[in-house]
A and B are shown apart, each in its own frame.
Chain A
Amino acid sequence: MIQRALFNVVFLLLVLYAPWWLVLFVAMFGIYYFTSYYEVIGFGILYDILYGTIGSGVFGYGITGFVTSFILFLSIDRLKRELR
């Protein structure tokens, strides 16, 4: 539990300061490492709120982070189940 909370703090700092590709990589790691890492979708929403604008990104709605995190969550979680 503490490990997950610490990871969330680090992830938040990465969303604020790190390049997008590093955030993406850490998000994939988080989903794979933790059980049902729903927080990643929250961070995706936060990413869009901080940086996105309506009229840009996915379909012009500024929801790149949300859509990416949702797809990553579903696909990596599914992959985990298949591998176990």
Chain B
Amino acid sequence: MKTTYRHDNTKTRKRIAILAVTLFLGALFLLYPPLRSVVTSIFYTQTGTAWNVGNKTEDSTVGFWQGFRNNQTLAEKNKNLEEELLRMQAQVLDRNLLAERVAQLEDRLGRVGSDDRVSANVLAGPGRISYDTLVIDAGSAQGIVLGDSVAYAGAGVIGKVVEVYESSSKIKLYSSPGEEFFVAMGGDSFPALARGKGMGNFEALVPQGSSLVAGDLVSLQGTRLLVGVIEVVLEKPDQPFSKILFRSPFNISSITTVEVIIGDNKI
């Protein structure tokens, strides 16, 4: 005798319904910017505190174990020194460019060039998260507005503010994949359109014979803000353009503090 089983479709229907509702709600929350902004703002009031508590807990835990583990203490010191070295390297690289540009600006504007900066701690950033984004602990309460440029180590520019909340902000790094912006390369300020490649890497196309070489500095066009240093110039005889690969002079994933340049949102 042949036995037939009736397939129970109730579970499958329920499952499809749950997935459809989740898909709809997810798309609504993430793809409708005003709603996304409101939801993010709500979460940031809670998670901002959580991140700060987490960072302090981490610091104090590390401090506690340092007393017992000499090797760990040395490793931590080494890490701090490496970070300081990266900062210093960025500052040294930028020094000559700065002096030259400051003099030019002062001439043009008839005043001493200076900008208003807000220092902020990085709560989350590349390396830990999969986006080329920084979350910082300063927001509209500190005077930050959309589009403000964000600098590291006093000079190197790394991105711009794309979302602002009361006490936190989100920064999109210039190295975000697909992000495009104009730069000036080398001593002759050769103009080019740069494109982010992720984790502090960039590429740009310039006409062959541009005289750019590895080690030349790249700054944001129309500013004195350093973006990166040219690593490689790729030239093929049959191509009209050379591909310039450059990168930030410091490790993007080791950034712990940044400076937001207030009122610099016209770049």
Contact = CB atoms under 8 A, between A and B. Distances in A.
B150 to A, nearest CB: 13
B18 interface: yes
Given A52-B133, A53-B162, A16 B22 contact: no
Interface of A: 16-20, 36, 38, 41-42, 44-57, 60-66, 70
B51 A16 contact: yes
Contacts of B51: 16-17
B132 A56 contact: yes
Contacts of B176: 55-56
Contact of A19 (B29, B128, B135): B128
B172 A50 contact: no
Candidate in B30, B162, B178 with the most chain A CB atoms within 10 angstroms:
B30
Q: Is the interface of B mostly helix, strand, loop or mixed?
A: helix
A60 B178 contact: yes
Q: Is the interface of A mostly helix, strand, loop or mixed?
A: helix
Candidate in A38, A46, A49 with the most chain B CB atoms within 10 angstroms:
A49
B40 interface: yes
Interface stretch (B31-39, B185-193, B222-230, B256-264): B31-39
Contacts of B29: 45, 49
Contacts of B137: none
Interface in B4-53: 15, 18-19, 22-23, 25-26, 29-31, 33, 36, 39-40, 43-44, 47, 50-51
Contacts of A47: 129
Interface string B54-75: 1000000000000000000000
Given A49-B29, A51-B135, A17 B54 contact: yes
